[in-house]
Amino acid sequence: MALRSTLRWLRRIPLRYVGMVLVTLAAGGAIAWLLLPVLAPPDPEKVPLPRVMLTGAELSPAGDPVAEALDRVRRYARAEVTLELPDGRKRALRPALLGAEIDRVHLAELVRAAFTAKSELVRAHQREHPDAALELPVPIRIDTERAVVALVSIKDDIDEEPVDAVVDLEKRKVVSEKNGFRLDVYGTLARIDAALARGASKVEAAVERIAPRVLASQLGSVKFDQVLGWFETRYTLGARYRARTYNLRLAASKLDGTVLLPGETFDFNETVGPRDEANGYKVAPVIAQGELVDGIGGGTCQISGTLHGAAFFAGLEIVERVPHTRPSAYIKMGLDAAVAFPSVNFRIRNPFDFPVVLHQTVKNKNKDGVVRAEILGPTRMLTVSFFRRIDEVLPFEEEVRETEELPDGERMLTQRGIPGFKTTVHRIVRDGAYATRDKISTEYPPTTQIVRVGTGGSKSKSKLKADESLEYVADEYLVLTQAPEKSDMYEERFPGKTGKRGWQKEAGMKVFDDGEGDEDEGDKDGKKEGKGG
């Protein structure tokens, strides 16, 4: 049929053109015949093999290339792969710890195919990358379960919390923020898997980036010329309290210079972070279930309590505040604020239409240790008063415990009893002719008095420490006021029945006779107020 159609087509062409058509067709056939060797696929046997690369080095076909490849992959699996973090830190990982196993069968198949000219691997490579070396993948399988466990175990050390921009109050400049990140375990595992297949020695960690809450660009107009509210507490100096003093300074440094924008809330636990050895805190006395014991981070509550006092008198909103399970000797009852990471927190909110700056210092002053907290802002307008009334006193109980750590019959007070108190606190805030009043009811349960009695024999030497604190006294009525026109605190005290030394004995409580002087504690903020959380 095709031949007939061609003949019919030729009949339609004028005779004088038929010769030209036949000549053209003949010439085209000759050209096609000449190009036939070029258009035909190359003979695989005559095409040179590409260079073969494995784990970054050339693999020679001489000898036993399969054995050489296996040895090379084994060395690679035993070596370290560097995990690179966004902040420049590096973490070494061994593939073996991730459960990596070599697929020997696949490796042998790859090597044999790489040195066989007719193999599909070589032919495909020659078509797509004729001038490049043939990079063999490293056939390593990762045990996903083991790898996830390994990455999770280092995640806490790798994760970096964001750091807000703050005001350096000494240098009077803004310190820029720092981005944070959290390790994406499964994303990083996928990148490690791909890196091992390439025989790479480095892999960039997959992370979830966390933006800081406050940026330096937001603080350009922050003014902190005046003290809107302040508060001070005392702590005891000396080698015996060195660890506690260290904790005070460390916790204060975490929040000093923090800026609260209008409407923002300050979270103590979030800002100061965990109080543990990993974050540099030391063992010092803390209050736990009503008893004074040694614990990591002792002293942090004095930082939160002092800040609470400053926020109270600055007119900030007290969002969350928990009193201690016993009155704290370093601060006036009703102004303390207990914290314990992560369960017990202290939070305040900036209710103003301008930013405020938190400033807290821990310094020696006139042979005393002073913790001072300030709330700084553009101008002070408010007069704030603290009014506290003791509504009810709850007697403490005494518990006698025998111990072999004291000689026979010797008695030692290891925890002085403290009565419980039910109190009412009012905060009165005056802004010109306007005033608001907040009411806060706070209860402190009684602290059991613990007396140890020795059973250790006549030659036993005491290994216990006596409780050297004094009888707790607190004014029955107390009024404290800070005003714009005065830099100091205006104070009105009405001791009543609870504000004088000896009141507990008069009330029929079991007061341990220690022969001490008549120095008061509680609302007088004495030097012995250096204990507790």
How much is the average pLDDT of 424-451?
93
Give per-residue pLDDT as tens, 28-54: 554 444 444 545 555 555 668 899 999
Answer yes or no: are the C-beta atoms of 357 and 224 closer than 8 Å: yes
Among 184, 188, 189, 183, smallest CA distance to 161 is for: 183
Q: Which residue has the higher pLDDT, 519 or 187?
A: 187
Among 111, 127, 125, smallest CA distance to 50 is for: 125
Asked if pLDDT for residue 85 goes beyond 50, the answer is yes
Amino acid (1-letter code) at residue 77: A
* Residue-level pLDDT at 514: 52
Q: What confidence tier does 95 reach under pLDDT thresholds 50, 70, 90?
A: confident
Give per-residue pLDDT as tens, 283-294: 876 666 555 566
* Residue-level pLDDT at 524: 54
Answer yes or no: are the C-beta atoms of 155 and 185 closer than 8 Å: yes
Asked if pLDDT for residue 533 goes beyond 60, the answer is no
Read off the tokens for 222: 């922050």
Of 123-137, 274-288, 299-313, least confident by mean pLDDT is 274-288
* Residue-level pLDDT at 276: 86
10 Å CB burial of residue 398 (0-12, 13-18, 19+) is middle
* Residue-level pLDDT at 465: 84
Phi, psi angles (nearest 5°) of residue 458: -70, -25
Give per-residue pLDDT as tens, 437-449: 999 888 999 999 9
Q: What confidence tier does 517 reach under pLDDT thresholds 50, 70, 90?
A: very low
Q: Which residue has the higher pLDDT, 456 or 355?
A: 355
Asked if pLDDT for residue 18 goes beyond 60, the answer is no
Read off the tokens for 82: 């560097």
Q: What confidence tier does 368 reach under pLDDT thresholds 50, 70, 90?
A: confident
Asked if pLDDT for residue 509 goes beyond 70, the answer is yes
Read off the tokens for 349: 């909110």
CA distance between the termini of the chain: 106
* Residue-level pLDDT at 228: 96
How much is the average pLDDT of 72-78?
88
Which residues does 337 contact at the CB level (< 8 Å), separation at least 6?
A: 301, 304, 305, 307, 308, 321, 322, 323, 346
Q: What is the mean pLDDT of the chain?
A: 85
10 Å CB burial of residue 219 (0-12, 13-18, 19+) is buried
Answer yes or no: are the C-beta atoms of 377 and 356 closer than 8 Å: yes
How much is the average pLDDT of 406-431?
93
- Calpha distance 364→526 (Å, rounded): 15
How much is the average pLDDT of 383-406?
94
Asked if pLDDT for residue 397 goes beyond 50, the answer is yes
Give per-residue pLDDT as tens, 197-256: 888 889 999 999 999 988 888 887 788 889 999 999 999 888 888 889 999 999 999 999
Asked if pLDDT for residue 94 goes beyond 90, the answer is no
10 Å CB burial of residue 286 (0-12, 13-18, 19+) is buried
How much is the average pLDDT of 459-473?
82
Report the percent of the chain where pLDDT is more than 90: 49
Asked if pLDDT for residue 131 goes beyond 60, the answer is yes
DSSP string, 267-318: EHHHHH---SGGGT--EEEEEETTEEEEEETTTHHHHHHHHHHHHHHHT-EE
Domain boundaries, the chain: 52-210, 221-524
Among 521, 105, 499, smallest CA distance to 329 is for: 521
Give per-residue pLDDT as tens, 252-273: 999 999 999 999 999 999 999 9
Report the percent of the chain where pLDDT is more than 70: 85
* Residue-level pLDDT at 80: 87
* Residue-level pLDDT at 1: 52
